[in-house]
Amino acid sequence: MAYTPDFEIVHIGVNCRDAAEAEACADQFETLFCLPVNPAKESADARFTGTQVEWMKAPGRGRCGHIALATADLPAARAYLEEKGFLFDEDSIKRMPDGRILVIYARQEIGGFAIHLMQK
């Protein structure tokens, strides 16, 4: 039986010009859509509203930002996508303490968005 990936969109990362724009966008999203700013996910690079939208404090990967997709079997999902011609950037790999890949970005963008896979 062929492998069937279980991709799940985890969040959308939106590239902002700077930290002030990221904060303003997060605050506006919170006000309009009742998605609270999530201080637990705040980092030097990004501000989150809920867990769904990551407001980048400086332009990151992708012309517009990135889309994060989680999967239970990242190596199998990667192989599945590579069979379809999707390529990955080895320099983007972040690893778990045990050496398994936690995050990897694709080389291609879709609609101006970088794509990254995450291990569930």
6-47 pLDDT, tens digit each: 999 999 999 999 999 999 999 999 999 999 999 999 999 999
- Same domain, residue pair 71 and 116: yes
Q: Which pLDDT does position 3 carry in this prediction?
A: 79
Mean pLDDT of 62-66: 98
Q: Which residues contact 81 (CB under 8 A, 6 or more apart)?
A: 5, 88, 106, 117
DSSP H helical segments within the chain, as ranges?
A: 19-33, 74-83
- Same domain, residue pair 48 and 92: no
Question: What's the CA angle centered on 70, arms 83 and 2, to 5 degrees?
Answer: 40
Q: Indicate the residue type of 80.
A: Y
| Number of domains, the chain | 2
Q: Rounded mean pLDDT of the chain?
A: 96
- Same domain, residue pair 53 and 67: no
The domain of 53 spans 17-58
- Same domain, residue pair 23 and 67: no
- Same domain, residue pair 66 and 106: yes
- Same domain, residue pair 97 and 85: yes
- Same domain, residue pair 64 and 110: yes
Strand 8-15: give its sheet, edge to edge: 46-49, 53-56, 8-15, 65-71, 113-119, 101-110, 88-95
- Same domain, residue pair 68 and 108: yes
Q: How confident is the model at residue 1 (pLDDT cuts 50, 70, 90)?
A: low
DSSP H helical segments within 14-118, as ranges?
A: 19-33, 74-83
